[in-house]
C-alpha cells in the first residue's frame, strides 16, 4: 500500500511538471495571483518590479489592460490626438515587453500640478508596473529652496543658508538647472544627503546617482557608512552650458547617499580657497541598473511656457535624452488679466520649436490644463467662479499641436470639460484653493493619462497587426 501511495505521488508530480512545461512552451507560465491581503499597507505594491510584467510572463496578450477609473466625472475621452506621432516611444515599450535590456526615458515637464509629484508619480508607477522600473529619475532640492517637495524622497543639508533660483523669476538669484531651480551657498563646507522615503518611496532603491552642479561648484565625495562602496567619477568638462555631471556608482542597492564637498584640486593634495568656488547645485538623477521606464518629473510652482523657453535650459533638459517629453502647462497663463489665445499659442509654439531643435529624436506630447476656479468678489464677499480661460487654453494647445505636428491629450475634456471643476470639488478631489487638486484627485488624473497612452498604444498595435 505504501509503495502504491508513493507511486501515485510521483505520478502526480510528473503530471504537474508536464503541465508547467507545456504552459511554458506556449509562453504562459501559471503564476499565482497576487494576494490582495498583502497589499494593504503598500500603496504601490507592484512598483518595485525591476523586470517588465510582460517579460516575466514570457509573452501573453498584445493588449495592455487599462486600469479602472475611480470616479465617473464627465464622458470617456481617453484618446490622444495624432497618436501615430508617438510611434518611436511605443516602439521602446515593445522592446521592454520583449525582455530587451533597455531603459526608456520619459520627461514630464510642468508647473505646480507636476512639482507635487502625485499626478506624474501615478503615471510613473503605472508605467513601471507594466514595463519595468529603471529608477526614481530626477529629484530636486525643493525643500532646501523653501518650497514643497514630493513625498517619496528627501534632500537635506546641514547648511541652512541657501540662495534659491527658480525659472519663474525674472531676476534669478542663482542659475537654474534641469529641474527649473538651483540652490547656491557660500559656505566653505557643504553636504547633501539623499534619502528615499521608507513608505512612499517603496521600490526606488538605487545604485547610481548623477549629481548636476555648476561648473565652479565644489565637487562632492561620498561620506558615511557606504563611502568605500562608491565609485566616484567627477566630471572634468561641462556636459553643457557650464553644467557638470558627476556620477556615483554604488556596489549595491541603497536608499541613502551622503555627500560632502571637497576643496582639493582633483588629483592633488592642494586645498583651494572657498572663495574660488560658486557653489550651485541643481539635483540628481537616480537609477537602479534595471531595464524599464525611467520617468523624470520636472515641475516648478507658477511655471508657464515662457519660463522654460530658454535655449540654455532646453539644452540642459536634452541631457536626460528622453524618448518622450510630456508637457503639462497652461493653468498659470489662464489667470492673467488679459489672457489672449493667439499670444498664448505663440508661446507654446516657441517652446515646442526649441524642443524640436535640441531634441529632434524626442516624441512630444502636449496636455491641456484641467478646469479650475478663480477667485472673485461680489459685494465685497469672496466667491469662486469657473475659470473660463482654461477652456480657451485647451483649445489653443490642441490647435498648436496639430499645426506643429505633435501629439496632444485633452485633459480638460477627459476630466469632464466645461463646468467639470464643480464636480471635482463635490467629490472632494480639489484643494482648498480650488485650483490645485488633492492627492486622490491628482492620482485620478494620472490614471486618465496612463489610460490614454495605453489606449493609443493598444490601438496602434492592433492596426499594425492587420497590415
Beta strands in 215-307 (DSSP E): 220-223, 230-233, 243-254, 256-261, 279-287, 292-299
* pTM of the complete model: 0.86
CA distance 447 to 454: 10
Residue spans in the chain of domains classed CATH 2.60.120: 138-289
- Residues, the chain: 467
- Residue 374: exposure state from Cβ atoms within 10 A (0-12, 13-18, ≥19): middle
What fold characterizes domain 138-289? Jelly Rolls (2.60.120)
Best CA proximity match to 121, nearest among 65, 200, 56: 200
**Half-sphere CA count of 270, side-chain side, radius 13 A:** 6
Give the DSSP H/E element, type plus range, for residue 449.
Answer: helix 439-466
* Distance in angstroms (rounded) separating the CA atoms of residues 416 and 316: 36
Q: How far apart are CA 92 and CA 361, in angstroms?
A: 13
- In this structure, the number of other CB atoms found within 10 A of the CB of residue 11 comes to 10
Contact between 457 and 64 under an 8 Å Cβ cutoff? The reply is: yes
List, as one string, the DSSP characters of 77-114.
--PEESGGGGHHHHHHHHHHHTT-S-EEEEEEEESHHH
CA distance 419 to 75: 13
Assess contact for 161 and 202: CB atoms under 8 A: no
Q: What is the pLDDT of residue 376?
A: 83
Tell me how far the alpha carbon of residue 239 is from its chain's centroid. Answer: 22
Residue 268: the pLDDT is 66
For residue 78, the model assigns a pLDDT of 62
Q: How many CB atoms lie within 10 A of CB 403?
A: 12
- How far is Cα 395 from Cα 399, in angstroms, rounded to an integer? 6
Per-residue DSSP letter, 264: B
pLDDT for the residue numbered 375: 87
Burial of residue 456, with CB atoms counted within 10 A of its CB: 0-12 exposed, 13-18 middle, 19 or more buried: buried
Does residue 272 contact residue 263 with C-beta atoms inside 8 Å? yes
Using CA atoms of 262, 266, 269, 274 in order, give the dihedral in degrees to the nearest 10: -40
Q: Given 3.40.50.1110, 3.40.605.10, 3.30.465.10, 3.90.650.10, which CATH number is that of 46-134+291-467?
A: 3.40.50.1110
Reading the chain (467 residues) residue by residue, the pLDDT tens digits are 444 444 444 444 444 334 434 433 333 322 223 233 333 334 444 334 444 544 443 334 578 999 988 887 756 556 899 999 999 999 999 999 999 999 999 999 999 999 999 999 999 999 999 999 999 999 999 999 999 999 999 999 999 889 999 999 999 999 999 999 999 998 989 999 999 999 999 999 999 999 999 999 999 999 999 999 999 999 999 999 899 999 999 999 999 999 999 887 766 677 777 777 899 999 999 999 999 999 999 999 999 999 999 999 999 999 999 999 999 999 999 998 889 999 999 999 999 999 999 999 999 999 999 999 998 877 778 889 999 999 999 999 999 999 999 999 999 999 999 999 999 999 999 999 999 999 999 999 999 999 999 999 999 988 888 77
How many CA within 13 A on the CB side of residue 337? 0
Assess contact for 200 and 189: CB atoms under 8 A.
no
Q: Is 191 helix (H, G, I), strand (E, B) or coil?
A: strand
Q: From CA 326, how far away is CA 107, in angstroms rounded?
A: 6
How many helical (H) and strand (E) elements, i.e. helices and strands, does the chain have?
A: 12, 19
Please report, for residues 304, 398, 425, 426, 450, the alpha-carbon distance to residue 417 in angstroms, rounded to integers and kept in the order given.
22, 14, 14, 15, 19
Rg of the Cα atoms in the chain: 25
Range(s) for CATH 3.40.50.1110 in the chain?
A: 46-134+291-467
What's 151's DSSP letter? T
C-alpha distance from residue 330 to each of 143, 161, 344 (Å): 25, 33, 9
pLDDT of residue 337: 80
Report the alpha-carbon distance of residue 124 to residue 204 in Å, rounded: 12
Amino acid at each position: 500500500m505504501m509503495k502504491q501511495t508513493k507511486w501515485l505521488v510521483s505520478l502526480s508530480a510528473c503530471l504537474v511538471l508536464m503541465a508547467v512545461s507545456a504552459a511554458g512552451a506556449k509562453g504562459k507560465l501559471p503564476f499565482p495571483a497576487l494576494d490582495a491581503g498583502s497589499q494593504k499597507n503598500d500603496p504601490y505594491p507592484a512598483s518595485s518590479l525591476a523586470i517588465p510584467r510582460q517579460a516575466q510572463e514570457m509573452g501573453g496578450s498584445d493588449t495592455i489592460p487599462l486600469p479602472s477609473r475611480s470616479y465617473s466625472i464627465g464622458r470617456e475621452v481617453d484618446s490622444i490626438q495624432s497618436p501615430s506621432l508617438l510611434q518611436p516611444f511605443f516602439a521602446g515599450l515593445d522592446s521592454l515587453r520583449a525582455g530587451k535590456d533597455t531603459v526608456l526615458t520619459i520627461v514630464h515637464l510642468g508647473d505646480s500640478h507636476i512639482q507635487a509629484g502625485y499626478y506624474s508619480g501615478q503615471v510613473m508607477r503605472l508605467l513601471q508596473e507594466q514595463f519595468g522600473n529603471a529608477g526614481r529619475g530626477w529629484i530636486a532640492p525643493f525643500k532646501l529652496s523653501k518650497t514643497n517637495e514630493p513625498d517619496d524622497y528627501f534632500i537635506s543639508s546641514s547648511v541652512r543658508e541657501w540662495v534659491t533660483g527658480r525659472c519663474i523669476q525674472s531676476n534669478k538669484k542663482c542659475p537654474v538647472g534641469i529641474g527649473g531651480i538651483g540652490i547656491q551657498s557660500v559656505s566653505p563646507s557643504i553636504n547633501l544627503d539623499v534619502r528615499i522615503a521608507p513608505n512612499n518611496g517603496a521600490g526606488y532603491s538605487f545604485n547610481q546617482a548623477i549629481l548636476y552642479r555648476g561648473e565652479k561648484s565644489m565637487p562632492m565625495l561620498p561620506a558615511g557608512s557606504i563611502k568605500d562602496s562608491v565609485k566616484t567619477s567627477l566630471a572634468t568638462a561641462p556636459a553643457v552650458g557650464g553644467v557638470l555631471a558627476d556620477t556615483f556608482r554604488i556596489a549595491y542597492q541603497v536608499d541613502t547617499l551622503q555627500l560632502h564637498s571637497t576643496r582639493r584640486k582633483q588629483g592633488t593634495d592642494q586645498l583651494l580657497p572657498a572663495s574660488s568656488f560658486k557653489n550651485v547645485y541643481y539635483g540628481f538623477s537616480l537609477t537602479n541598473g534595471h531595464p524599464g521606464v525611467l520617468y523624470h518629473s520636472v515641475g516648478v510652482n507658477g511655471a508657464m511656457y515662457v519660463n522654460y523657453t530658454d535655449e540654455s535650459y532646453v539644452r540642459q533638459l536634452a541631457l536626460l535624452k528622453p524618448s518622450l517629453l510630456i508637457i503639462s502647462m497652461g493653468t498659470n497663463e489662464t489667470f492673467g488679466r488679459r489672457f489672449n489665445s493667439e499670444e498664448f499659442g505663440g508661446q507654446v509654439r516657441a517652446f515646442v520649436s526649441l524642443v524640436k531643435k535640441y531634441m529632434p529624436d524626442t516624441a512630444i506630447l502636449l496636455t491641456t490644463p484641467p478646469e479650475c476656479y478663480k477667485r472673485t468678489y461680489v459685494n465685497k464677499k469672496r466667491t469662486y467662479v469657473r475659470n473660463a480661460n482654461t477652456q480657451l487654453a485647451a483649445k489653443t494647445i490642441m490647435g498648436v499641436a496639430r499645426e506643429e505636428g505633435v501629439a496632444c491629450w485633452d485633459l480638460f475634456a477627459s476630466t469632464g470639460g466645461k463646468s467639470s471643476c464643480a464636480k471635482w470639488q463635490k467629490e472632494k478631489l480639489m484643494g482648498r484653493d480650488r485650483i490645485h487638486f488633492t492627492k486622490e484627485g491628482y492620482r485620478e488624473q494620472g490614471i486618465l493619462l496612463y489610460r490614454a497612452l495605453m489606449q493609443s498604444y493598444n490601438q496602434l498595435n492592433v492596426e499594425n497587426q492587420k497590415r
